Amino acid sequence: MAQRKATLGSHWMSVTDVLGRLQQARDNRQAQQRLLTSLDQRLGQRRTELERSLADLPQHERTNIINRTVSGTRGELKRSSADTRTAHVRQAGKIHSEVVGAKALYGSSVQMLARHGLGSERRSRILEQIADSGPAELAGLAELAAATRDIELGAALCSKVAKLLPSERPFNAHDLADVLIGEEHRKVTGAIMEIERLVEEALHEDSAFERNGRSPVRTLEIAKMKEAEAELGADLSLAEADADLDPDTEQAAA
């Protein structure tokens, strides 16, 4: 098995920070959608007006005039809205770059658990107490940590069993981490995935307005991103988002 190498250029962001960026990304995307919808409505109104005023002309002639006029109106709207549209795309990209820079910090629930209480007196005491514990005792303590949702105990136990041979480990660190902070890991992972999708949507929608047509390839890619988010099943109702489960992590990373 290949050994994991550290990504040392990451910028620290807590789970709360990531969720805050997600809310910003959602707000920005909604504002962009309102703008583009308004522009499309104005084009639709212009086309309707032309249809009515040119109703007496032959169909072919009427279609040519309407298409030329609407195309000119689209050009005017593109120019007048360019700065605002660009601002939305840039904001989406800025949020995306900030969050993706911290993505390596949330690779797995075990990685998140390992940071919990790092350097704390209690975690140090637990490590001292279990230094000579055998497989049966470690297994029992893992069951206790899972039952009581004792994240600090779980972090210490995972540190302990990481030093054992895989065949000697009395419990699976990933299973314990999933019980203790799996929901939090899915939440931050889902937030990052959604932010990645929102920037793609922002780029796609702006390009569609510019070119008067959507890219089938990009539409399919975005649909696949949505499917992956649905499969993850993270609860991202931010109005009731909990505070970070791992406040000690922020202190340790400061």
pLDDT digits (tens, 9 = 90+) for 143-189: 999 999 999 999 999 999 999 999 999 999 999 999 999 999 999 99
Structure tokens at 236: 């991202």
Residues of the chain with pLDDT under 70: 1-10, 238-254
Distance CA 100, CA 230 (A): 20
Q: Give the dihedral sign, CA 233/239/245/251.
A: positive
Q: What pLDDT does 102 receive?
A: 87
Q: What pLDDT does 101 receive?
A: 83
Provide the whole-model pTM: 0.84
Q: Give the dihedral sign, CA 193/195/200/204.
A: positive
CA 180 to each of CA 38, 94, 112, 177, 238: distance values in angstroms, whole numbers, following the listed order: 46, 32, 10, 5, 21
Q: What pLDDT does 248 receive?
A: 42
Q: What pLDDT does 243 receive?
A: 43
